[in-house]
A and B are shown apart, each in its own frame.
Chain A
Amino acid sequence: MADIQFVHIGKVYDGDVTAVRDLNLDVAEGEFMVLVGPSGCGKTTALRMIAGLEEISSGEIHIGGKVVNDLAPRDRDIAMVFQNYALYPHKSVYENLAFGLRMRKVPKAEQKRRVEEIARILGLGEMLQRRPAQLSGGQRQRVAMGRAIVREPKAFLMDEPLSNLDAKLRVQMRAEIARIQQALKVTTVYVTHDQVEAMTMGHRVAVMRDGELQQVDTPQRLYDAPANLFVASFVGSPPMNLFEAAVERDNGRLVCRIGQTELELPADLAAERPSLPNYAGRRVAVGIRPEDVREASGWDGVRLRGQILLVESLGSEQLVHIEIAAAPLERSDLIDTAAQPPGPSLGVEDHERAVTLLGRFDRHLLLAPGEAVEVAIDPRLLHFFDLETGVAIPLVELPVAAEVAR
């Protein structure tokens, strides 16, 4: 077991394509670190640099305090699980599991003991003599995991190991990998593009985009306090609602104007975000999580009027698409565009000023498309971002529990 450190790591392909830019990241001993981001964000490149399968253009990678830049993969004592498993097709499951031990000259009897133990734990005991071609997808995945575990390496590196499984198996293996990691307490770096995997598995999650690290934090902190518009739009499913609003000062009160509706920003909210008053008279990006969008009955605060476009029932709740009057974000380059809900409804003329708001509503509410609806927005649940840079207007450090009044 060992910690892994990226120190000013950069990767440039063919002289001009930058895959990773000045990456600084510490993975603590025994930690489960997830690298997440859309495809092409440099997460896999970063992982392969730890493994030694990709040359490091600049900076240093330390494993267990030792610089490994010039070490061959086999001398780094790490194990890797590949996206396509990369099982040796001409070797049996037993030989696949034992290969790493054999290469490291572990005595035969010890090899047998360890392989059989791993096979028992992973439920592969009956399959040791089979070839990978004779296994199901889930079993192959287990063999790939077993091959990494049996070596008892300093660290596990996993490159989207679940993306080839069907949805049900993926959820099951997700828990299993997390459980194994907890039991073995081996430092793990896990790459995925699936933010649900990232949130559920990682002790900490590092969000990357275009080769740059956006934010590293625990899943909950990432969700509650995204550092910028990209993280806000990437983390969470369905994603955060984002639109433009104006911050104005009105008789000493701070007001947020969404479309024609004015929301008063209470004094304690401004106190939490000391720089927010500086934005008075300017436009900002505002975000709200779908579960914080509420149907307005019984709410005595300001309401937003909207029209229901679509109701998606999820069984336990319903996802409601509501069109409201607000300005959509102009700067689509600051957000994860793949996660954005569709634009306003067809035939809306003044579409510049309409935004689709996604709300997670109680399943007992009777709602139908076309209906007018009023939603309550608690200004304390809003997220504020600088419109130019996309950076969150910072919160003063507060305990998580006190941050959001629910």
Chain B
Amino acid sequence: MSSVTPIAPTPVAPAVPRTAGQSRRLGSVGWNLLGVLVFVVMIFPVYWMVSTAFKTGQDIFSYTPKWFPLHATLANFGDAIHRQYFWQNVRNSLVVVGVVVTLSLTLAFLAALALAKFRFYGRKAFIVLIIAVQMVPLNALIIPLYIALSRAHEVNKLSGVIITYMTFVLPFTVWTLRGFILGVPRELEEAAMVDGTTRFGAFVRILLPLIGPGLVATSIFAFIQAWNEYIIAYVLLSSPEKQTLTVWLASFTTNRGTSWGPLMAGATLTALPVVVFFLLVQRRIAFGLTAGAVRG
């Protein structure tokens, strides 16, 4: 009997988990590769825009694609910045975006608060309407919109563009903010009121800090929407000194062709504020801040 014991099949046993582990590792490598692939596909146009902005005219039009701007130049940026109406249009874009973001966030916050906290007649219908209105393709409305705005003498004015932007930014912001407000348990405000605050005090001290991240996320969305919008601005704003940056970009394409270098430099400059704005506020988007308030 004792001679049998040493021949226990010990080496066989670990072999099974190892293969299972290996295949799992292989699987995770595969998923990671797929992730990298998706990332490359998504980032490449952005990379191409930025790199083209730094290339010389020869490199841009070379038949063999130049992957890196080896003879990097800032000339394209100079051309873009010194192009007519650039600074004027930057100002226009900032005005439009600034007003749209502030106004829509203020209005949407109050509307969302009412939808989330109070029960009133027509509340359900209103919520349905908010979703339904977002399903209407905006481009189909451009001509009726134009006619309506022109009757109100709001064509070729920034205020007309702002009003139009509000029509599609507001429903979305109301909807998202309502979700954020609903995410804060009612008991938190009640606890504050029992603890000695007024209803308004509970709102300011408890609710507002907790939906801060929601406000930030929503403002990013409103900012991007308004900053990147092209069609409406293009249709409504005819005189070059009234246009926004996206319309200004289109002016690089003329009957005589497109000046790609300055266009890409202009596009890079136009994209910059969105990126900067996002980097500034992304720290504040600490989702899951409400975790731990109530049972996890």
State which residues 61-87 of B face A: CB under 8 Å: none
Task: Please determine whether B194 and A73 come into contact, CB atoms closer than 8 angstroms.
Answer: yes
Does B294 contact A85, Cβ atoms closer than 8 Å? yes
The answer to whether B294 touches A88, judged by C-beta atoms less than 8 angstroms apart, is: no
Tell me if B210 and A85 are in contact (CB < 8 A).
no
Known: A99-B195, A147-B195. A133 touches B206 (CB 8 A): no
Task: Choose one: B194, B201, B210, B296; the contact of A133 (CB below 8 Å).
Answer: B296
Question: Which of A72, A78, A103, A147 has the most B CB atoms < 10 Å from its CB?
Answer: A103
Which of A40-79 touch B at CB < 8 Å? 51-53, 72-74, 78-79
Q: Does B34 contact A (CB under 8 A)?
A: no
Q: Which of A2-10, A134-142, A271-279, A328-336 contacts B (4 or more CB under 8 A)?
A: A134-142
Chain B residues with CB below 8 A from A86, complex form:
185, 187-188, 190-191, 293-294
User: Which of these, A74, A85, A88, A140, contacts B193 with CB under 8 Å?
Assistant: A74
Q: Size class of B's contact patch?
A: 20 to 34
Nearest residue (CB) in A for B190 is A53
Report the separation of the CA atoms of residues A89 and B191 in the bound assembly, to the nearest whole angstrom.
12
A78's nearest neighbour on chain B, judged by CB, is: B194
A103 adjacent to B195 (CB under 8 Å): yes
Are B191 and A82 neighbours in the complex by a CB distance under 8 Å? yes
Contacting residue for A132 out of B187, B190, B195, B293, CB 8 A: B293
Range of interface residues on A (Cβ < 8 Å): 20 to 34
Q: Tell me if A80 is interfacial: C-beta within 8 Å of chain B.
A: yes
Enumerate chain A residues within 8 angstroms of B283, measured Cβ to Cβ: none
The reply on B197 being an interface residue by CB < 8 A is yes
Q: Is the CB of A74 within 8 A of B293?
A: no
B296 to chain A minimum Cβ distance, whole angstroms, is 7
B42 part of interface (Cβ distance < 8 Å): no
What is the 8 Å Cβ interface bit string for chain B, positions 192-223, against chain A (1 contact, 0 not)?
A: 11111110010000100110000000000000
With CB as the reference atom, state the residue of chain A lying closest to B197: A103
Q: Which of B8-16, B20-28, B284-292 contacts A (4 or more CB under 8 A)?
A: B284-292
B192 touches A99 (CB 8 A): yes
Is B256 engaged at the interface, CB distance under 8 Å to the other chain?
Answer: no
Contact of B292 with A87 in the complex, beta carbons under 8 Å: yes
Residues in B with CB closer than 8 Å to A88 are 188, 191-192, 206, 293
Cα separation A281 to B31 with both chains bound (whole Å): 81
Chain A residue numbers with a CB within 8 Å of B198 are 72, 74
- Is A89 within 8 A of B194, CB to CB? no
Contact status A133-B292, CB under 8 Å: yes
Q: Does A113 contact B (CB under 8 A)?
A: no
Residue of A78, A87, A137 ringed by the most chain B CB atoms within 10 A:
A87
- B194 proximity list for chain A (CB < 8 A): 51-53, 73-74, 78-80
Whole-angstrom distance between the alpha carbons of A80 and B295 in the complex? 17
Complex interface: chain A residues within 8 A of B294 (CB): 84-87
Contacting pair B193 A73 (CB below 8 A): yes
Chain A, 143-162, contact with B by CB distance < 8 Å: what is the 0/1 string? 00001000100000000000
Determine if A104 is an interface residue (Cβ-Cβ < 8 Å): yes
Task: Find A84's partner among B187, B192, B195 (CB 8 Å cutoff).
Answer: B187
Once bound together, how far apart are the Cα atoms of A85 and B292, in whole Å? 9
A100 at interface by CB-CB < 8 Å: yes
Closest B residue by C-beta to A104: B196
CB distance from B267 to the nearest CB of A (A): 40
Q: B295 is contacted by which of A53, A78, A84, A151 (Cβ under 8 Å)?
A: A84
When distances are taken between beta carbons in the complex, the residues of chain B under 8 Å from A168 are: none
Q: Are B196 and A103 in contact (CB under 8 A)?
A: yes
Residue of B nearest to A54 (CB): B190
- Distance A179 CA – B192 CA, assembled complex (angstroms): 26
Other A-B pairs, 20, CB within 8 Å; known A87-B292, A88-B192, A99-B192 = A53-B193, A53-B194, A73-B190, A73-B193, A73-B194, A74-B194, A74-B196, A74-B198, A78-B194, A80-B194, A85-B295, A86-B185, A86-B188, A86-B294, A87-B293, A88-B191, A89-B293, A104-B196, A137-B295, A151-B195
Interface CB pairs A-B, < 8 A, 22: A52-B193, A52-B194, A72-B198, A74-B193, A74-B194, A82-B187, A82-B191, A85-B294, A86-B187, A86-B188, A86-B190, A86-B191, A88-B206, A89-B289, A89-B293, A90-B210, A103-B197, A104-B196, A132-B293, A133-B291, A137-B295, A147-B191
5 smallest CB-CB distances across A and B, nearest first, come from A133-B292, A103-B196, A84-B294, A86-B187, A89-B293
Interface residues, chain B, with chain A CB atoms under 8 Å away: 185, 187-188, 190-198, 201, 206, 209-210, 289-296
Name A's B-contacting residues (CB within 8 A).
51-53, 72-74, 78-80, 82-90, 99-100, 103-104, 131-135, 137, 140, 147, 151, 164
